[in-house]
Amino acid sequence: MENSLLLTYLLLIPFIGSIALLFIKAEKENLIRYFGLGISVIAFLLSLVIYFNFDPSNSSFQFVHKFKWIENLNINYFVGIDGMALLLLVLTTFLTPLTLISSWTSINKKVKEFTFFMLFLELGMLGVFVSLDLFLFYFFWEAMLIPMYFIIGIWGGQERIYAAVKFFIYTMAGSLVMLVAIIWLAIHASNYLGKFTTDLVELYSVAPLFDLSIQNYLFIAFALSFAIKVPLFPFHTWLPDAHVQAPTAGSVILAGVLLKMGTYGLLRYNLPLFPAASLHFASFMSTLAVIGIIYGALVAMVQTDMKKLVAYSSVAHLGFVVLGIFAMTQESMQGAIIQMINHGLSTGALFLLVGMLYERTHTREISYYGGIAKLVPVYSFFLLLVSLSSIGLPGLNGFVGEFLILLGSFKSTVLNSWWYTVFATTGVIFAAVYLLWMYKRVVFGKVVNPKLNDLTDLNKREIFVLVPIIIFIVWIGIYPGTFLNVSEKTSDKIIERVFEPPKVELK
Amino acid sequence: MIDLIYLAVFLPLLGFLINGIFGSKIKNVERSKIPFLGEKIIGLIGSGAIGIAFLIVIGAFFETLSLPADQRTNYVNLFTWMKVGALDVSFAYQVDQLSLIMALVVTGVGFIIHVYSIGYMHGDRSFWRFFAYLNLFIFAMMNLILADNFVLMFLGWEGVGLCSYLLIGFWYDKDFEKSTTSAAGLKAFVVNRIGDVGFLLGMFLIYLFFDSLKFSEVFSRAVSFDVPEHIFTLITLFLFIGAIGKSAQIPLYVWLPDAMAGPTPVSALIHAATMVTAGVYMVARTSVLYAMAPTTMMIVAVIGVFTAFFAATIGLVQNDIKKVLAYSTISQLGYMFLAMGAGAFSAGIFHLMTHAFFKALLFLGAGSIIHAMHEQQDIQHYGGLKKYLPITYGTFLVAAMAISGIPPLSGFFSKDEILWFSYTNLGFVFWLIGVLTAMMTAFYMFRLYFLTFDGKPRFDEKQTHPHESPKMMTVPLIVLAVLSAIGGFIGIPEIFSGAHGNAFHSWLSPIFKSANLKLSYFGAHSHFEEYLLMAISVAGALGGILGAAYIYLKRPSIAVNTVEKFKSIYTTLWNKYYVDEVYDATVINPIVNSSRSFLWKLFDNKIIDGLVNGMARSVGDVSALIRKLQTGIVQSYALVMMIGILLAMFWLILSF
């Protein structure tokens, strides 16, 4: 097998799978479920093959596959990955089968459509992470919105339509600005390259040469789109609605992977393409990030709905990632990348756990619960462990990311102030408050609500979904080297591109 | 055995995993011949893990002892934890004089308390969970102590905080005072986290200036690098905030009294003997940095002595036996920080050790009493228990005398040394407050003692039949009593032991050498001064005891009258200076309320979302207007077209 085709195969698996799914009769729900699961497992296995064939000591893009797509405009089908993309790729293929298993019983209407959209979504997500052509990237970026829109709109809660439309328009508004920026970028780059192209690698070599003012505009356009996706304060208000209304699988994918696309975009596009602008805006972006950390935590603290609480906590957690990105030190960059994975695991697991409770009681109101430790000890254990991971307890994954980010941002010469880190660090207090306070109110205390008495503990299928995530939560917490190694060259390369941008003569 | 020290760390983890995963199954193991077999197996696994760890630590201790004094620091490296940039931290353990002393205390006292718990927790529904948590605690504590770098220490630091949280709320469905046990646990965790922010920021500063977080590298660079003093002040102050949180000093002590919601062995192990002393240990461990920051040293001393005094005043009036002991712990920790601030690091560690013995004993004794009195914790309802609980009584008396500083019990040597150093290194005022605190300590301890064991029973003897605890609980009491009695002899001051010097100090001296070199206190003080001050403090302690005896045995009316006379002072003390209420009103409620009503309901929902929805709506409105142009009437389209053409022609004509 030729290495360079692996990524294309990986994209083809969910693509062909979702097409093939259409030929199965809708009544055969179980067959559909197993089929979808099978496809996503194959994708996961293939991503492991990619993982083991990846050379972490090589800083250039690997598994590169390229052919002409729109010849006149030099737009190519061009895929390839570095360490960061690889980690997110595996995260995606890892979470997709787990979400499918978790929806086994909770999704019981339109199973065929649901599975179809999930596979389609996986295709879109993988496409975003492997694209090395801006046009191709944009294609996947937008394509991904469609299945998510339907997943929220069809299988969501009471106000699903409002949430789905809000999600769609919010992100779409950002994306359109980015589309304009992509075209502008390519046109402007043609002054240097002598041709119009959306080839990222070629653009890497010329975009940093642009005047600062042009870089600034382009930076803003890209960053706006990514900031909405992250979501960076104050562009976050679509998130609580989307999360609360989305079905569990939607929430898990949304938190686990979709939000990462914003931070991934900042690292893949903003920093290397517009290094001067990135330095120019670093303080501004970091300020928003730090506000998000504290603001998200404070608002999470007072939520009465468990899912909304977790949604707001994402604002805080992703704030850490953005801070790490714009502090631009080795430590903070590595921390940001690993924190992207961490958030995918921890918050993904939190949504799964909230979903499991919801499936039993059909409410997520914190005040409904209390004292369930006695009734569902296994559930309580998992919820505690995942909460602690999210709180950033050393020994679990969250700590590694947060610690590296804070350590790095403290010594950042770009930010050149301790205050960012000082304020961000107080976020760890609030994280403990909102999660453990919720935990206390839901799990501890006496059972007051008689309706809770017939609550059943997790079944084997649910435990099977959680255990793999737990393994990685502990693994990253104790031996993060496995993953830090993979992304090390990527973060070095990004930092290099920012601080030592290419200096090429004008053609 | 030094090389095997990691086993002493990981065996407790193994115990945690076994009991944690299989405990609920083991619990139900039964053999008709052996009652409660399941509990016994769980207890054996739990205490066995700690027992073996203790033996390994002893082995490592003697091996270290056999080495020359300058080769007593050894490292055991397991694997890399985080390696990014200049950061390179491992799961690696530093076995030296200081960490060994701490490890001996933690595993030794820990083992005794584990054994005691087999008796104390007998019959509890979650017996297995208790032992699992307890083992996890020892694992975290050993990491805290033995870590060779700040980050691993922080892992232990937060780990013990987690175990504390879990164990305070162990009976998660119980009420505690005005609230619940789980609220007390949450409070402990959050207050500790406030301190942890300080610890983190201290680490960031250290990394920024010394490019490392390994102890050995940081400490050697601290001496050799040219870093201004105010940076050291900042670093040590941040670290000290961490210590204040963990070791319950002003203003972050508020969690410790509430931590008494946990089972009593937990109070003994975590909230008296080991975890709460972690802050003291951390200051001792980083003594080099503190020695470079005289300002911080003074702050440490002031907070220490003030906390010692302040907590003792609250202890005077509390009626819950565990509450008295809790405030006493805060007060004694204050002494330890006073020692640290005075630069008497090994004296502080010495007191840490003796305190571990007698305070663990006091708590375990309290546990024995509480068991006998059917969970009654109010000393107003005790009295005359001497005859019912002879072993508890005897051992409790030893501990009470030890903490009061009666020679030659352990507390005398350690406390007196701290007082002496605070006199020579800090000044008369510190010594005076220290002695006043010692008097109050003796008073409230013997108030507790007399109200509990002496006098007439103040409970209904027909209904309550107190009986002595089983051997599983009394043997640990006796062992601790022996340690409390003779534990001080390894640190006999020079004026008594003469040429041999103070064994404890000379053992620890290599650790504090570079710190002590930086500090230069040596004013000349005569032996006469030392004897005199010692005599005064012993007299003070005896005075406190006699005062308590007089008031609570002979003239109980005095207590009542005093309370009446100084009603406002009494209520202030009784309500612990209203500190909790003040925190609620000034910090917690404002944050929660403004987050809810301002940030969430107003800012997030109305302002940001209002803008977003407003924009969406205005787009909708505009398009609704534009839509009206699409009438579908061809004539009107033609009309518009005509107007357009005319306008275009005009423009063309005009532009020529």
Residue B378 scores a pLDDT above 80: yes
A45 confidence band (pLDDT: 50, 70, 90): very high
Q: Are residues B478 and B568 in the same domain?
A: yes
Between chains, do A403 and B596 touch, taking CB under 8 Å as contact? no
Separation CA A399–CA A393 (nearest Å)? 6
Confidence of residue A507 (pLDDT cuts 50, 70, 90): very low
Which H or E element spans position A55?
A: none
Residues A277 and A208: their CA atoms lie apart, in Å, by 9
Interface of A with B in 161-190 (CB under 8 A): 166, 169-170
pLDDT digits (tens, 9 = 90+) for A127-138: 999 999 999 999
Q: Which of A301, A377, A445 sits opposite B595 (nearest CB)?
A: A301
Q: Nearest chain B residue to A478 by CA: give it.
A: B81
B531 and B589, same domain (yes or no): no
Asked if residue B537 and residue B501 are part of one domain, the reply reads yes
Query: Is B314 part of any domain?
Result: no
Closest CA to A228 of A252, A263, A184: A263
Q: What mean pLDDT comes out for the span A304-316?
A: 92
Q: What is the pLDDT of residues B14-56, one digit of tens each?
A: 999 999 888 888 888 877 777 788 888 899 999 999 999 999 9
A residues 348-407 lying closer than 8 A (beta carbon) to B: 371, 373-374, 377, 388, 393-395, 399-400, 403-404, 406-407
Q: What is the mean pLDDT of residues B365-373?
A: 90
Given a cut of 90, whether residue A480 has pLDDT beyond it is yes
Q: Which H/E stretch holds residue B81?
A: strand B74-84
Is the same domain home to B418 and B508? yes
Same domain, B159 and B131: no
> With a CB-CB cutoff of 8 Å, which residues 318-347 of chain B face chain A?
none
Residue A504 pLDDT level (bands cut at 50, 70, 90): low
Average pLDDT on A11-20 reads 92
**Using a CB-CB distance cutoff of 8 angstroms, which residues of chain B are in contact with residue A237?**
604, 608-609, 612
Local confidence band at A223 (pLDDT 50, 70, 90 cut-offs): very high
Q: Which residues contact A337 (CB under 8 A, 6 or more apart)?
A: A83, A84, A87, A267, A487, A490, A491
Q: Which domain holds residue B281?
A: 152-292
- Average the pLDDT over each of A67-76, A304-313, B98-107 and give the range with the smallest value: A67-76
Domain boundary at B228, B259, B292, which? B292
A2: pLDDT strictly greater than 60: no
pLDDT tens sequence across B184-213: 888 899 999 999 999 999 999 999 999 999
- Give the mutation candidate from B84, B89, B152 for the A interface (greatest A CB count, under 10 A): B84
- pLDDT category, B162, cuts 50, 70, 90? very high
- Number of domains into which chain B is organized: 4
- My answer on whether B142 and B166 are in the same domain is no
Helix (H) or strand (E) holding B90: strand B87-95
B509 CB burial (10 A radius; 0-12, 13-18, 19+): middle
Task: Write down the pLDDT at residue B533.
Answer: 87
Closest CA to A449 of A383, A504, A371, A380: A371
Residue B44 belongs to a domain: yes
Q: Residues A388-397: pLDDT tens digits? A: 999 999 999 9
Which of A:413-442 have CB within 8 Å of B?
421-422, 425-426, 428-429, 432-433, 436-437, 440
Q: Let me know how long chain A is.
A: 507
pTM summary value? 0.92
| Residue A1 scores a pLDDT above 50 | no
Q: How far is CA B491 from CA A157, B355, B360, B500, in A?
A: 69, 13, 20, 11
Measured between alpha carbons, how far is B71 from A170 in angstroms, rounded to an integer? 65
For residue A252, what is the enclosing H or E element?
A: helix A248-253
What residues in A contact B173, CB-CB < 8 Å? Answer: 371, 373-374, 444-447
- Determine the pLDDT at residue B498: 66
- Kindly identify which residue of chain B lies nearest to residue A413, measuring between CA atoms: B208
Q: Which H helix or E strand runs over B88?
A: strand B87-95
Of the candidates B336, B301, B259, B440, the residue with the CA atom closest to the CA atom of residue B105: B336
Helices B278-285, B321-341: axis angle to 10 degrees equals: 10
Residues 220-279 of B with CB under 8 A from A: none
Confidence of residue B110 (pLDDT cuts 50, 70, 90): very high
- Report d(CA A295, CA B500) in Å as an integer: 61
- Give the end of a domain, one of B229, B257, B292: B292
CA A201 to chain centre: 23
**For residue B416, what are the contacts with CB-CB under 8 A and spacing of at least 6?**
B405, B493, B534, B537
List the 204-223 stretch of B: residues with Cβ below 8 A of A.
204-205, 207-208
pLDDT of residue B617: 82
The pLDDT tens digits for A141-154 are: 998 889 999 999 88
Quick one: pLDDT at residue A337? Answer: 94
* Cβ atoms of B50 and B111 closer than 8 Å: yes
Q: Same domain, yes or no, for B600 and B548?
A: no
The verdict on B381 touching A (C-beta cutoff 8 Å) is: no
Domain's final residue, options B148, B164, B189? B148
- Interface contact flag, A443 B82, Cβ < 8 Å: no
Query: What residue in B sits closest to A295 (Cα-Cα)?
Result: B599
Are B550 and B620 in the same domain?
no
To the nearest whole Å, the CA of B63 is away from the closest chain A CA by 30
Averaged pLDDT of chain A: 90
Domain check: are B416 and B535 in the same one? yes
With beta carbons under 8 A apart, name residues in chain A contacting B171.
none
Mean pLDDT, all residues of chain B: 88
For range A273-286, the mean pLDDT = 92
Q: Is residue B339 part of a domain?
A: no
H/E/C letters for each residue in B156-213? HHHHHHHHHHHHHCCCCCCEECCEEHHHHHHHHHHHHHHHHHHHHHHHHHHHHHHCCC
User: Does residue B365 form part of some domain?
Assistant: yes
Secondary structure string (H, E, C) spanning A451-477 = HHHHCCCCCHHHHHHHHHHHHHHHHHH
| B252-298 confidence digits (pLDDT tens) | 989 998 888 889 999 999 988 899 999 999 999 999 999 999 999 99
DSSP letter (8 states) at residue B626: H
B234 belongs to a structural domain: yes
Average pLDDT over every residue of B377-395? 87
Peptide bond into B408 cis (omega under 30): yes
Chain B nearest-CA residue for A437: B186
Residue type, A212: L
* Burial zone of A214 (CB within 10 Å; 0-12 exposed, 13-18 middle, 19+ buried): middle
Residues B286 and B350 in one domain: no
Residue B604 lies in a domain: yes
Q: Using CA atoms, how far apart are residues B180 and B174, in angstroms rounded to an integer?
A: 6
Nearest by CB to A394, from B158, B189, B204: name it: B158
Task: Convert the pLDDT of each residue in B406-439 to its tens digit.
Answer: 888 998 989 988 998 898 888 889 999 999 999 9
According to the model, what pLDDT value does residue B231 have?
Answer: 92
The verdict on B222 and B238 lying in the same domain is yes
**CB within 8 Å: B84 and A443:** no
Question: Residues A163-179: what's their mean pLDDT?
Answer: 88
β-strand partners of B92: B77
Q: Is B383 left (phi over 0), alpha (psi -120 to 50) or beta?
A: left
Q: What number is the average pLDDT over the span A255-269?
A: 92
Among A384, A359, A370, CA closest to A451: A370
Task: Tell me which chain B residue has its CA closest to the CA of residue A409.
Answer: B204
pLDDT at B503 over 90: no
pLDDT digits 0-9 by tens, B441-477: 999 999 999 989 888 888 887 887 888 888 888 999 9
Burial A430-450 (b: 16+ CB within 10 A, else e): bbbbbbbbbbbbbbbbebeee
Predicted pLDDT of residue A505: 54
Handedness of CA A258, A262, A264, A269 (dihedral sign): positive
C-alpha–C-alpha distance, residues B537 and B491, integer Å: 18
Residue at B204 is within a domain: yes
Tell me the average pLDDT across A8-29: 89
Statement to judge: residues B136 and B160 lie in one domain: no
Position B243 pLDDT exceeds 90: yes
Q: Which two tokens stand for residue A49?
A: 């093959």
Any domain includes B332: no
Please give the interface size between A and B, counted as residue pairs whose CB atoms are below 8 Å apart: 134
